[in-house]
Structure 1
Amino acid sequence: MSTAPSRRSAGFTPTGTISTSGDRRRVVFATVVGTTVEWYDFFLYASAAGLVFGQLFFAPAGPGVAQILSFLTVGLSFLFRPLGAFLAGHLGDKYGRRVVLMITLILMGASTTLIGVLPTFDVIGVAAPVLLILLRVLQGISAGGEWGGAVLMAVEHAPKAKRSLFGAAPQLGVPLGLLLASGMLALMAVVAPGDAFLVWGWRVPFLLSFVLILIGYYVRRKVEESPVFLELAERKEKTRMPIVQLFRKHALLVLIAALVFAGNNAVGYMTTGGYIQRYATNPDGPVGLATADVLGAVTLSAVSWLVFTWIGGWIGDVIGRRATYLIGWAALLVGVFVLFPLVNTTSIGLLTLGLVVLTVGLGLTYGPQAALYAELFPASIRFSGVSISYALGAILGGAFAPTIAEALVKATGSTMSVTWYLAGMVVLGAVATLVLRDRSGIPLGPDHEAEQSVSPVRGLSKA
């Protein structure tokens, strides 16, 4: 390490940011492309779980139970996201953000492609759902490791005054992934309608992942390592056991940060988890809309989510992360209460309106998340901190949201129970946000580790 070039000679400024706008554009482009491919794969599974997996892999359990089992496999993968976050956090804090991003991209793409060629229950029996669950677990491990690396590459490369906007770049991969997944499924529902969709149409979007993974890999290879990590490596200040240090000093902060994301994630998984798709297209349900129409509506709402995520990132630099979140929570609460009344009208136009309204709050509470998380944790354990907080928040929020929604409707006969459940999660996220101090603009480099280690939790001076 003693022969490594200094950060000044390597083109880095003393504040830990890249000195050229061209490098920054490459980072933004690479994080958007990479996370889009990752979340396309992840959401494709969730949408297929709502549309076809219950019939193809779990049918012997009976119509109602088969669908619940299908949604449970969506949530099961979330239980393995902390494992991915632990592994990625350890590797990312010791060996760099870039290497983790390459590994997670390949793992996710390979798992998704294999799902596209997986035989169904009718062909190989119980081995079919077992293999499906195994591949979903690998997706969960990959998703748990992906997010932290992507957001830190974006935020740690960003100018201080634009961290929230730069951090919104990998966040855009989520609505873009949903848009791409829903769009491909909607296209295949038209190309291969009815039984053809069940036989082979659903497989095509999964097989497309192989091509997307090659594109994502090529783009990410062109990106330089995070300047903050290079600075740590040059000074030989990498932590030996970052996860141990994280939980020894910042356990409460991890929990509060997880609750912030849980509020957003529970609501978001009404569409990304496939619940609305299943509820609105179920021929035996109260809505009974065409699959292609509902997938089209979800695709349109993904565009709206994309726009408001970018707006949330931009506003986060203007008024601060915390204030942006609070506005977003208020908007999300409105969206939660109008969603099902509009869906239950059986009008595809009003269903689309309900989904679009929901995305206003989703975007405003997702756009500034990367900057908020990155500014909460010290440089030496930042990858572990943001990754594990995100993974735990996903478990507490979206992991079993579709399963809970399905069970609530079956138990009560009304979607109002789902509305109150989602509203409770939004309030929980808002309270967690209020507990945190806004640390917008705090220096991110290792020179300021002492300042970063002061707890952002109100009422505490140290973590």
Structure 2
Amino acid sequence: MTALTQDRAPGSAAARRTILLASLVGTTVEWYDFFLYATAASLVFPKLFFPAHDEVVGTMLAFGTFAVGFVARPIGGLLFGHIGDRLGRKRTLVATMVAMGAATALIGLLPSVATIGVAAPALLVLLRIVQGLAVGGEWGGAVLLATENAPPGRIGRFGSVPQVGLGLGLALGTGVFALLGSAMGQEAFVGYGWRIAFVASLVLVAVGLVIRLRVLETPEFRRLAASGELAKVPAVELFRTARHRRGLGLGMLARWAEGAAFNTWGVFAISYATTTVHLSKNSVLIAVTCGALLMAALVPVVGWLADRYGRRTVFGAGVVASGLTALPSFAALHSGSTVLMVLVLVGQLGIGYALMAGAEATLFAELFDAPVRYTGMSLVFQGSGVWASGLTPVILTGLLALAGGQPWAAGGYLTAVALISLLSILTMRRWLA
């Protein structure tokens, strides 16, 4: 295993709290912006930017632009990973936050297809690409900001803090949409209400920047810079080493179950429950919000478990839980029961997904040596996100359409994905000491 505990400046408790706050606030803002788009793709964008005679076609087009952001993420991971490994973690975290905030606010101001025609979806896709580039560089830097400042024995707990931002960001996005939907009629919400949530991102970005600009560079990067060990071209050095290549491959496959689970229960389920099962939009959004808040609360506990029992063991437990419960959960959701829908979404996001999210950041960081760590872990997370995350809503929409809306196709897909991820984790044990 690649050491993350070597030669750290001890630092004060106050300094570590500021570092963790900077990591948490940054990822919260980034994921709020990124997944706000996902919620809008489920509820608003098919009507405003991709109107179609067939509702399924319009939804798939909207989810297709959602997937575009995931295609851009590995490019962002390479770009900002290079900057982070060469020039420092802090610089990338400021740049990614500014880019994400600007793109999100501009989406909120974008005219619909009825106003400017085909330019509307084209500009939407362009702004989604900017979002993808930004979040592609954000995650790795936020994790390293936390883990490379962690004291020995608490790396898992520190590494879990940026993952809390995933739950908080999703909860903010769905919660704001639920609040706006309750406060105004459907016509007003579709007309302008949804835009408020996007433009409000500028306030969160300003708060995040104030905190991040107070943080120093990580001790690990300062050590590399002082000793002349910085990688000249991190991506080249990453692929040159056989162990790092294996880490990339196994890491991407291991993350498949995590990415598919989150984008099933946090993104696709919103569309499925409201348009196919015809449950109340606000009930579904509130259930997702509650699940995301429970996830945010449990992720630090999972980080503690990862320190005690090992990152791979805890992450693997989450993968197994995801695979075993996928089909029963889809069957329960398909029943049309609001109570079962709430139990499924809160349980899947708040408990099952938390087991994976709380352990994965440190697990992937430990796959790579420090000079290429930012680039390597960013490629694992963002590269796998293309198929594991971004394409999941499109795949599930297509599978359910082919199966006549029956839940076995979607549940079977998630079960198969979990098996692939579990085999990758078990293989990882053989060569990662």
- TM-score of the alignment, normalized to the shorter chain, above 0.5: yes
Deviation at 1:192, TM superposition (A): 1.7
Q: What whole-Å deviation, never above 9, does each CA across 1:248-279 have from its counterpart, x for those lacking one?
A: 1122221111111121001110133x211111
- Find the partner of 2:261 among 267, 271, 278: 267
SS in 1 for 2:418: helix
SS in 2 for 1:398: helix
More helix by share: 2
Report the counterpart of residue 240 of structure 2 in structure 1: 248
SS in 2 for 1:426: helix
SS in 2 for 1:105: helix
**Which amino acid in 2 is paired with 1:290?**
S
- Find the partner of 1:277 among 249, 266, 270: 270
Q: Closer, same or farther in 2 for the Cα pair 1:246/1:261, shift >3 Å?
A: same
Q: Which moved more, 1:235-244 or 1:95-104?
A: 235-244
**Which amino acid in 1 is paired with 2:357?**
Y
Deviation at 1:310, TM superposition (A): 2.0
Deviation at 1:460, TM superposition (A): 8.3
Q: Which moved more, 1:261-270 or 1:13-22?
A: 13-22
Report the counterpart of residue 99 of structure 1 in structure 2: 91
Report the counterpart of residue 52 of structure 1 in structure 2: 44
Find out whether 1:118 has 2:110 as its counterpart.
yes
Looking at structure 2, the residues matched to 332 and 235 of structure 1 have their Cα atoms a distance apart, in angstroms, of 44
Report the counterpart of residue 313 of structure 1 in structure 2: 303
Report the counterpart of residue 341 of structure 2 in structure 1: 351
Deviation at 1:384, TM superposition (A): 0.7
Deviation at 1:423, TM superposition (A): 0.9
Find out whether 1:382 has 2:376 as its counterpart.
no
Q: Which runs of 5+ in 1 are unaligned?
A: 1-12, 438-457
Looking at structure 2, the residues matched to 138 and 385 of structure 1 have their Cα atoms a distance apart, in angstroms, of 21
- Find the partner of 1:405 among 396, 403, 422: 396
Larger Rg: 1
Deviation at 1:116, TM superposition (A): 0.4
Contact 2:327 2:407 in 1 (8 A): no
Contact 1:86 1:384 in 2 (8 A): yes
Deviation at 1:388, TM superposition (A): 0.8
Report the counterpart of residue 206 of structure 1 in structure 2: 198
Report the counterpart of residue 15 of structure 1 in structure 2: 7
Looking at structure 1, the residues matched to 53 and 70 of structure 2 have their Cα atoms a distance apart, in angstroms, of 23
Q: Closer, same or farther in 2 for the Cα pair 1:234/1:333, shift >3 Å?
A: same
SS in 2 for 1:80: helix
SS in 2 for 1:233: helix
Q: Which runs of 5+ in 2 are unaligned?
A: none
Find out whether 1:325 has 2:315 as its counterpart.
yes
Deviation at 1:308, TM superposition (A): 2.9
Looking at structure 2, the residues matched to 323 and 404 of structure 1 have their Cα atoms a distance apart, in angstroms, of 29
Contact 1:16 1:157 in 2 (8 A): yes
Find out whether 1:364 has 2:352 as its counterpart.
no
Deviation at 1:436, TM superposition (A): 1.5
Q: What whole-Å deviation, never above 9, does each CA across 1:378-402 have from its counterpart, x for those lacking one?
A: 1111111111111112113111000
TM-score by length of 2: 0.95
Percent of aligned positions with the same letter in both sequences?
39
Looking at structure 2, the residues matched to 132 and 271 of structure 1 have their Cα atoms a distance apart, in angstroms, of 24
Q: What whole-Å deviation, never above 9, does each CA across 1:23-70 have from its counterpart, x for those lacking one?
A: 111111111111000000000000100001011101046422111100
Looking at structure 1, the residues matched to 58 and 151 of structure 2 have their Cα atoms a distance apart, in angstroms, of 50
Deviation at 1:184, TM superposition (A): 0.2
Deviation at 1:307, TM superposition (A): 2.6
Question: Which aligned segments of 4 or more residues in structure 1 are displaced greater than 3 angstroms?
Answer: none
Report the counterpart of residue 165 of structure 2 in structure 1: 173
**Which amino acid in 2 is paired with 1:390?**
F
SS in 2 for 1:15: coil
